[in-house]
Structure 1
Amino acid sequence: MRTVEEINHRIRQGQVKVLTAEAFKHLALEVGVTQAAKAVDVVTTGTFEPMESSGAILNLGHTDPPIKIRRCQLDGVPAYAGFGAVDLYLGASQIAESSRVGEGLETEDVRERGGGHVIADLIAGKPIQLRAVGQVTDCYPRASLETTITRETINQFYLFNPRNLYQNFIVGVNGGDRLLHTYLGPLQPRLGNAVYSNPGALSPLLNDPHLQVIGIGSRIFLGGGIGYVAWEGTQHFPLQKRLPNQTPIGPAATVALIGDAKQMDPDWVRGCYFKSYGPSLMLGVGVPIPLLNEEIARYCAVQDAELVAPVMDFSIPRRVRPTFGLVSYSQLKSGQITIDGQKVRTAPLASLYRARQVAEQLKDWIAAGQFELTAAIAPLPSDRSFLSQDRWGSQVNLS
């Protein structure tokens, strides 16, 4: 029906028709997919959730005399320094080893702060204490460095996230007798609660199940700024089993994302901590779906009642856990599901309220001519299998 360039022309002319995913789904129910597809150019999706496989690349700039950093801490959080002399990678889930001088934090308080908090503070313009040890060489004679940095006093500062936007995920429950602290948060014993992390029908990749329009080079909303799909994400598994509507029944496709952190908004990038599990990063991500044809529109019309996720029992400490079957996202969002005849309350790990705000803000950017779409320069792989390490060896003690 239309091309990306035609849509961008309509954006520049102020004539584009754009709706959030929820609004488009309501329209499709009212007038049918065919008419809805004719009336709308772009659908905006969004999520705001913890994305621990995220991190930031920083270039500090050279000192005088120069230093080749080999070990480094940012506000007590170790950053990886195994490449350029003053290039660092700070992982969102890296745990702090020490606190700022004079803060007097207890060890447990320190460990509740991590890479995600430092990234969020840098984006917010806050000063960060840097301590580094260098490898002394003829061209890098400096042995150590202690200073304070901000996002304005360093060169590059951008997010590069190896795995974001799971196309679908699991529902966590606990069939055991003790409280479990997990990456989904606390799971109460004896099926006391169920936690799901994906926003369902709002989820970017569930609205494009075969990644027909989302690919390498796709422009997105990332942390309140502009970002791009850089590559397939780690654990990308497009071969996951699917329903007749082509949506996966569990964890499937993922994407790697990149974006300039200096342009991001601290309102959409927040450090967080999961008790007895570790730190992470809450991140707002929105993806526009150009309705190039009716098939894409049909996928965007999918409802929460037509999307399912597997219920997994975390009390079994194995990679492959038993399931209690599949539940729909409409059931999950109702606040209660039934497992083996027992009613179990549910809660989302993603903020559905803020996910709606992401989709709404992206819609406003497009409608105002502030955000144009990009066609993918290459598709994401459709044939990746999912490998485990079960057959490669036994446990070893590295302590």
Structure 2
Amino acid sequence: MRTLAEINEKIQRGSAIVRTAEEVKAQVAEIGVAATAKLVDVVTTGTFEPMESSGAVLNLGQTDPPIKIRQCWVDGVPAYAGFGAVDLYLGASQVVEYPGGSEPLDHDDRESPDARQRQRGGGHVIEDLIAGRSVTLRALGQVTDCYPRSSFETSITRDTINQFYLFNPRNLYQNFIVGVNGGDRPLFTYLGALQPQLGNAVFSNPGAISPLLNDPDLQLIGIGSRIFLGGGIGYVAWEGTQHFPLQKRLPNRTPIGPASTLALIGDAKQMDARWVRGCYFRGYGASLMLGVGIPLPVLSEEVIAHCAVQDQDLVAPIVDFSIPRRVRPTFGLVNYAQLKSGKLTIDGKVVRVAPLASLYLSRQVAVELKHWIEAGTFTLTEAVAAIPNDRAFIPQDMRGM
């Protein structure tokens, strides 16, 4: 129907027709797939959800005399220093080192300044740096002839260090699970608090507006694809960890549970703290709320057919976290229209449901990316390689133990 080069020419001329995934779904319902495909050049997708397998690379620049950092804390959060002398990797889910642990014991005191400090993690430090705020840094070095300094302390901002970029090993789960708790006590998980006796259910994927559910076989997304990452421009760097494209799929090619993932990279100095926020899950730990948007070029009618998928056409498994095993029992599949209604029925019981992703901000990511493309400040890229579609999932079963 059209090529990527033709679409980019239209973007640069200011004549490209760009629609968000929600707008395309409404347009297909009104005029059909074929007519929509002739009209629309680019579809924008978006999500704003916790992505704890994220982190930042920082290069501090050398001190005088030089130091070979081997231990480091950024605002009290340990950063990994096991490679270049002043290169660091700050993981989003790493928690502050604090006497007595990272979780306040007194439930009634969780909002005190002391408790909030204990709940601080790498995601919060990354947010502060992106926002231009100053953070403290303390480092211990391995003394050698070329690196004689043993320690130093300072404050840094995004403008006083060299490189500061996000490199996220696993983002954008293509579908996920719905968490419930069939046990007798509350559980504190990466989906938040799950109340006993099926007291609530939590889901994390925004459903039909989510990037990878609108390109289920990753035909348009590959290594080198330019994306919206944290309010700046990023790229798909590789397949994500736990990438599992062989997940069972519906006839519309969308998976019935966790499937493909992507590794993403982008310059954090260009990002906006509105789209990168540290967060903390009580009883579980720190994470990072991250806005990611992917543009899909309309190269054929098939692109629009996939983007026409609705929440009622997408399902996720309801997983019982009360069973402490890798493979937990499920209560079957539920579609996203039911999840977004705010309640579902499990074993005859009506259960209230809440999203972990911000559906509002997920929509806003797609809208923001649409505006960038319409303004001609964001063009699309050809992938330099495809994301593998044959990766199996290999668990660890304590072989030889």
Q: TM-score range by the shorter chain?
A: over 0.9
Report the equivalent of 2:325: 318
| Equivalent-residue separation in structure 2 for 1:35 and 1:111 (angstroms) | 55
Query: Given the alignment, which residue of 214, 224, 241 partners 2:248?
Result: 241
Q: 1:95-174 counterparts in 2 under 5 A?
A: 95-98=95-98, 106=114, 108-174=115-181
The one-letter code of the counterpart of 1:95 is V
Q: Secondary structure at the match of 1:267?
A: coil
Shift of 1:297: 1.3
Q: Secondary structure at the match of 1:266?
A: coil
Q: 1:393 to 1:331 in 2, by over 3 A?
A: farther
Q: Deviations over 1:200-219 (max 9, x none)?
A: 00100000000001010000
Shift of 1:295: 1.0
Contact (CA 8 Å) 1:176, 1:189: kept in 2 or not?
A: yes
Report the equivalent of 2:44: 44
Q: Deviations over 1:161-202 (max 9, x none)?
A: 000000000000000111110000000111111100000001
Shift of 1:26: 0.6
Query: Given the alignment, which residue of 247, 256, 261 partners 1:254?
Result: 261
Contact (CA 8 Å) 1:75, 1:98: kept in 2 or not?
A: no
Unaligned 5+ residue runs, structure 1? 395-399
1:12 equivalent to 2:20? Answer no
Contact (CA 8 Å) 1:269, 1:282: kept in 2 or not?
A: yes
Q: 1:162-201 counterparts in 2 under 5 A?
A: 162-201=169-208
Contact (CA 8 Å) 1:77, 1:98: kept in 2 or not?
A: no
Q: How many positions carry a matched residue from both structures? A: 389
TM-score by length of 1: 0.96
1:222 equivalent to 2:229? Answer yes
Q: 1:389 to 1:352 in 2, by over 3 A?
A: same
The one-letter code of the counterpart of 1:302 is V
| Equivalent-residue separation in structure 2 for 1:343 and 1:392 (angstroms) | 42
RMSD (Å) for aligned C-alpha atoms: 1.1
Q: Secondary structure at the match of 2:165?
A: strand
Contact (CA 8 Å) 1:97, 1:110: kept in 2 or not?
A: no
| Equivalent-residue separation in structure 2 for 1:277 and 1:220 (angstroms) | 30
Report the equivalent of 1:387: 394
| Equivalent-residue separation in structure 2 for 1:335 and 1:3 (angstroms) | 41
Q: Secondary structure at the match of 1:133?
A: strand
Shift of 1:20: 0.3
Shift of 1:393: 4.7
Shift of 1:105: 5.8
Query: Given the alignment, which residue of 345, 350, 356 partners 1:349?
Result: 356
Structure 1 runs (4+) deviating above 4 angstroms are none
Contact (CA 8 Å) 1:196, 1:347: kept in 2 or not?
A: yes
| Equivalent-residue separation in structure 2 for 1:12 and 1:358 (angstroms) | 21
Unaligned 5+ residue runs, structure 2? 100-111
Report the equivalent of 2:314: 307
- The percent identity for this pair of structures is 74
